[in-house]
Structure formats: C-alpha cells, structure tokens
Chains A and B, each alone.
Chain A
Amino acid sequence: MSVVNQGYKGAVLEVHNLSSSYNRKPVLWDIDFRLEAAQLVGIVGPNGSGKTTLLRNIMGLMEADSGYVRLFGKNLNEVREKVSYVPQRESVDWQFPVSVREVVEMGRYRPKNLMKRLGAQDHDLVDQALEKVGMLEYAQRQIGQLSGGQQQRVFLARALAQNADLYLMDEPFVGVDAATEDAILKVLSDLRDQGKTVVIVHHDLQTAYQYFDSMVLLNTRLVAYGPRDKVFTRDYLQEAYGGRLTVLSKLSQVIASSEFPVREKGFKEKSGLGDAAD
C-alpha cells in the first residue's frame, strides 16, 4: 500500500538536541536520536522520564526550549498527512456522545475538509480500519459502552484511518486485555511489514523486549537507542531505572523555582573559539 514509504531513504524521525520543560521544570535534556523506517520502536523508561513529553514535542503540541525535530527530513507541517498521533486513552472523556464510527471518521478530518462531508473513499478507509481492529460490528456503539481494550482499538482504528506512514502512540497497551494486546500487536506488526514505522511509548519492561525491534531508552536524558539487543543490556537498564542523577534533578529544581530563562536568548559564538571549539 505504501510504496512511497518503502522507497524513502534516510531517517523517518530525527530528534535534534531537544530540550523541553513542563511547568518550567526541565523534563528532557538534549535528546538526540534518529529512527529508520519500517520498524516497531519502543520509547521506554520509568515513570516521569519524559516519554509523553517527547511524543508531544515531536507532534508540536508543546514548545521545545531548544532543538528541533525532522520527520521524513522535513518540518512537521509539511508532512502532517504522513504522521498519525494517538494520545493516551485517559486523555479524552469517554462519555462523549459519539459512536465508534464517528471517532474513527475523525481520523479522516483534515483542515481542508472540515466544512464538507466525507467522501466515499474516506468511508472506505474508515470501514477498513474498523475491520482491521475487529470493531466493525460495534461501529454504532457509543464509545462509553466499550471496554478499555475496545476503546484502545477504536483509537488504533482512528489512527489507521489516517493512513499515515509514521504512527506515534502513547501507551496503547495500558488497561487492555490480553486478546486486545495481541490484536493490537498484530495490526502494528502488519504496518511494519508494509514498510511503515510505529513509535510507541511503553512503560512495561517485561514486554518491551518481545514487542519492539528497536528501542529508545529514556530517563529525562537519552540513555541509549538502537536495535533492541544493543539497548536491552543490564548496564543501560540499570542506568535508566537505577538511581537518579542527583545533580541533574537538583538543577531541575533550581530552574523550576527560579526565574532563569531556560535558554539564553540571542546566543551566538564565533566558531572555533572559546568553549565552542571541538
């Protein structure tokens, strides 16, 4: 289906020197990595390690203090149609009066078609997406009547309906039953086999190794990234999950409670001189 993507050379996602804070407290320190196409990537780390913040920064939902992100070598706005974002399930009100089908249709909404009806092609994509996650028979249900696993499937279907090349998902395996977990994984593996890239925020170390092809190990700073066997080592895990970096967290406290700018304005140094020298 996505021939374009398979032909794509270079990194699907590049994060350059990204630093970001939440409530003035630095959460991400100089994150820097790149991901190749056609794999299942896990962003793994302990609670509060900045996984969600990283995803939100990539999607431009937060403003970074410094650094930038490239998707398919371009700015997000140039490639929006190729990127799909799935927020955490708890981020929406499931009492909201919409049906399963309506939610999945939202995956077809674009800035340009907001004032029009969806076309036949859009409806086909919605049907296919519902079919793939096994929710077609529930299409008319109100979303509040679904189980946690089914709700997560709906979110997945909405993402599939977007027909993107890069999927960014925040904790899609939280609060779902075993059957759904397998089903979701199956769908994601199929996507990977079609040459698409799936990036998943995941907090469970037990399952991370078996799910993902490669991993980004995070704990406010980047601990390691790459193929799972290279990242999933005792040392790296110890570093990510073991004791905190006291100096780093102390400095974060100082920054949060002071009025210091998190980044200096208008900073420029003549290259090859002073501390900028390599």
Chain B
Amino acid sequence: MSIEAFYIILTGALVAASSALLGSFLVLRRMAMLGDAISHAVLPGIVVAFLLSGQRESTALLIGAAASGLLATFLIELLHRKARLQEDASIGISFTWLFAIGVLLISTYTGQVDLDQECVLYGEIAYVPLDQVSLGTIWSGPRPLLVSAILFALTLIYLLISFKGLKLLSFNEDHARSLGIRTQVWHFSFMAMVSLVTVLAFEIVGAILIVALLVVPAATAFLWTRSLIPMIVLAVIFGVLSSFGGYYLAVGINGSIAGAMVTVAGLFMLLSVVLMRVLKRS
C-alpha cells in the first residue's frame, strides 16, 4: 500500500467511524431522513462562508454551515408547527430549497469559489494526500486526515459522556422526561454533533454521500445485533471496511472513491439482508 492510499483510506475510515457512532442513534431514533435534510441544507452556509472568508480551512466555514443547518431545522419546525404542513413535506421543501440556493451560489460565483458542483456531490477524498499541513515539528501530513482524526476523537468523547442520556432518550423519551431529565439538552447536543460531522465530512465525501455513511453501516449493524454497544462497534467496523473496500473498488474501475465507499457499504447491507433471509429459512 502506498502512503497516499494509506492516507486516503485512513481519512475515509475515520470519517466513516465518526458517522457510524452517531448514525447508530440516528437509526434508532428514526431520524435518518433528518440527517439527510441537514446534510443538504448546510450547503448555502458553506458557500457563503467561502465567499466571505475567501478560504476553505476556516472556522467561518463551520459557522456558516452551522447557521444554515440551524436555519433548516428552524424552517422545518416552522412549516410543520406554525404553517401546519405535514412533516415529510416540511423536510422535503426545506432542504431542496436551501440546497438549490447553494448550487446557484456556486454556479454564480464559479470563478471566486474554490468549490464546484461535483465536489458538493462526491467530495475530494482523492486529493487528501495533496493537502498537506504541518504542526511545527510535531506532525506533518494531510490536513483532512488531521481534521477527521480530531472529528473522530470529539465524537468518541461525546458518545462516552452522553451514552446513557442518548440511550434513555432514544428508547423512551417520555420515560426520560418523567425522570426529570432534560431531554432537550441531549437532543440538541446530538443534532449539533451530527451537523458537525456533516460539515467536516462535506469536503471529504460530499454532501449527499455523508448520509450513506451515517445511516447504512448503522442500519446493517442493527440487523445483526441485539444490544447497543455491539451494534455501535459493528457499525464502526462496517464503516471502516467500506473505506478499505471503497478505495480499491474505485481504483479498480477508476471512479469516485466516495461513491465506491457507499457502494461497498450498500453491498454489506444487501449481503446482510440476503444472508439473514437464508439463515432464517434454514
């Protein structure tokens, strides 16, 4: 394995693992499509932040994405509660609108934004080794690798702290509230973490494929397991394997790495479903 391949696979694996950690709860809470909506809706915020700050590695990007993610959640709530529109349509309208605005901004400011429509969809994981950064003499290597390592550490710490809270909230929210637990705190911190993963993974695997990494490995793991911790661990394993398999598949047929990662994750799921059916019969 070349060092480039190693960097790409490791970056992909870290992103997939972070996604799987949070995605497990997203699946259990039946909020997968909300993750989908957020991942689309952060686009205009990211583009505006690019335009204003003129660079991609900035906290402005994070703030912009967070702002438009927040706008999306607000819009969905507003449409659903105040305008009394059904929930599925509220989600559908909000994210398509924001995503359309994002695409228009990109095509309007093509020259000024170092971001194109393809990047939005597939990410630029293939260019990971090219984007080097060094932290003095301590470490030097690809910046996206560093970012995804920090992301993974953050997600892991968050999950260790809030494991019981999230478990309680996901299993039976009413019971949690009856115990006097402020479920809103856990809900919002969780959604904030999902948004963070979405934003940081954006340039690596693209806006839409991040949903696959959030949902598919977790859903596959859910099929196989009966308790929570094994499910999360298995989801992480599926995510990491998808990164490996995806890289070699993409190299093999000369296609998008992010697309191939998702394809492999989907294959795991398909195999699991078929296998379970066979096992159930015998």
CB contact list, A145-172 vs B, under 8 A: 145, 158, 162
Q: Which stretch from A103-111, A247-255, A261-269 is at the chain B interface?
A: A103-111
Whether A111 lies near B179 (C-beta < 8 A) is yes
Whether A109 lies near B168 (C-beta < 8 A) is yes
Q: Which stretch from B6-14, B38-46, B193-201, B222-230 is at the chain A interface?
A: B222-230
Please give, as numbers and ranges, the residues of chain A lying within 8 Å of B230 by CB-CB distance.
97
With A97-B228, A98-B227, A99-B227 as contacts: A111 and B180 at CB distance below 8 Å = yes
B172 contacts chain A at the CB level, 8 A cutoff: yes
Please give, as numbers and ranges, the residues of chain A lying within 8 Å of B177 by CB-CB distance.
59-61
Residue of A98, A103, A110, A111 touching B182 (CB-CB under 8 A): A111
Instruction: Render A84-112 as a binary contact track against B, CB cut-off 8 A, 1 for contact.
Output: 11010001110011110011001001110
Whether A110 lies near B180 (C-beta < 8 A) is yes
Number of interface residues of A (CB under 8 A): 30
Instruction: Render B25-64 as a binary contact track against A, CB cut-off 8 A, 1 for contact.
Output: 0001010000000000000000000000000000000000
The residue in B165, B171, B181 that gathers the most chain A C-beta atoms within 10 A of its C-beta is B171
Q: Report the minimal beta-carbon distance from B252 to chain A, rounded to whole angstroms.
A: 35
Q: Report the minimal beta-carbon distance from B149 to chain A, rounded to whole angstroms.
A: 25
Whether A111 lies near B171 (C-beta < 8 A) is no
With A106-B171, A109-B164 as contacts: A80 and B180 at CB distance below 8 Å = yes
Whether B171 lies near A103 (C-beta < 8 A) is yes
Residue of B whose beta carbon sits closest to that of A95:
B222
CB contact list, B147-181 vs A, under 8 A: 161-162, 164-165, 167-168, 170-172, 174-181
Whether A87 lies near B179 (C-beta < 8 A) is no
Residue of B whose beta carbon sits closest to that of A87:
B174
In the docked arrangement, what's the CA distance between A250 and B210, Å?
51
Residue of B162, B164, B172 touching A87 (CB-CB under 8 A): B172
B231 contacts chain A at the CB level, 8 A cutoff: yes
Whether B178 lies near A59 (C-beta < 8 A) is yes
A46 contacts chain B at the CB level, 8 A cutoff: no
In the docked arrangement, what's the CA distance between A93 and B27, Å?
12
A246 contacts chain B at the CB level, 8 A cutoff: no
Please give, as numbers and ranges, the residues of chain A lying within 8 Å of B182 by CB-CB distance.
111
In the docked arrangement, what's the CA distance between A241 and B167, Å?
41
For chain B, give the interface size range: 20 to 34
Interface of chain B, helix or strand or loop or mixed? helix
Whether B168 lies near A106 (C-beta < 8 A) is yes
With A97-B231, A98-B167 as contacts: A85 and B180 at CB distance below 8 Å = no
A57 contacts chain B at the CB level, 8 A cutoff: no
With A87-B175, A91-B172 as contacts: A97 and B180 at CB distance below 8 Å = no
Whether B174 lies near A115 (C-beta < 8 A) is no
Whether A85 lies near B227 (C-beta < 8 A) is no
Whether B172 lies near A109 (C-beta < 8 A) is no
With A80-B180, A85-B178, A144-B226 as contacts: A98 and B161 at CB distance below 8 Å = no
Instruction: Render A65-93 as a binary contact track against B, CB cut-off 8 A, 1 for contact.
Output: 00000000000010010011101000111
Whether A61 lies near B174 (C-beta < 8 A) is yes
Please give, as numbers and ranges, the residues of chain A lying within 8 Å of B178 by CB-CB distance.
59, 61, 80, 83-85
In the docked arrangement, what's the CA distance between A92 and B228, Å?
16
Please give, as numbers and ranges, the residues of chain B lying within 8 Å of A56 by CB-CB distance.
174
Whether B181 lies near A114 (C-beta < 8 A) is yes
Q: Report the minimal beta-carbon distance from A23 to chain B, rounded to whole angstroms.
A: 10
Please give, as numbers and ranges, the residues of chain B lying within 8 Å of A96 by CB-CB distance.
28, 170-171
Residue of B172, B179, B226 touching A80 (CB-CB under 8 A): B179
In the docked arrangement, what's the CA distance between A204 and B30, Å?
33
Whether B164 lies near A97 (C-beta < 8 A) is no
Please give, as numbers and ranges, the residues of chain B lying within 8 Å of A93 by CB-CB distance.
28, 30, 171
A142 contacts chain B at the CB level, 8 A cutoff: yes
Whether A110 lies near B179 (C-beta < 8 A) is yes
Residue of B whose beta carbon sits closest to that of A88:
B174
Residue of A whose beta carbon sits closest to that of B226:
A142
Residue of B whose beta carbon sits closest to that of A103:
B171
In the docked arrangement, what's the CA distance between A35 and B262, Å?
59
Whether B171 lies near A98 (C-beta < 8 A) is yes
In the docked arrangement, what's the CA distance between A226 and B161, Å?
47
Please give, as numbers and ranges, the residues of chain B lying within 8 Å of A111 by CB-CB distance.
179-182
Q: Report the minimal beta-carbon distance from A240 to chain B, rounded to whole angstroms.
A: 26
Q: Report the minimal beta-carbon distance from B28 to chain A, rounded to whole angstroms.
A: 6
Please give, as numbers and ranges, the residues of chain A lying within 8 Å of B30 by CB-CB distance.
93
Given contacts A61-B178, A87-B174, 17 further A-B contacts (CB under 8 A): A80-B179, A91-B174, A93-B30, A97-B222, A97-B225, A97-B226, A98-B171, A98-B228, A102-B227, A103-B171, A109-B168, A109-B176, A111-B181, A114-B168, A115-B162, A115-B165, A162-B179
User: Which 7 interchain pairs have the tightest Cβ spacing?
Assistant: A142-B226, A85-B178, A80-B180, A92-B172, A87-B174, A97-B228, A114-B165
Give the A-binding residues of B (Cβ under 8 A).
28, 30, 161-162, 164-165, 167-168, 170-172, 174-182, 222, 225-228, 230-231
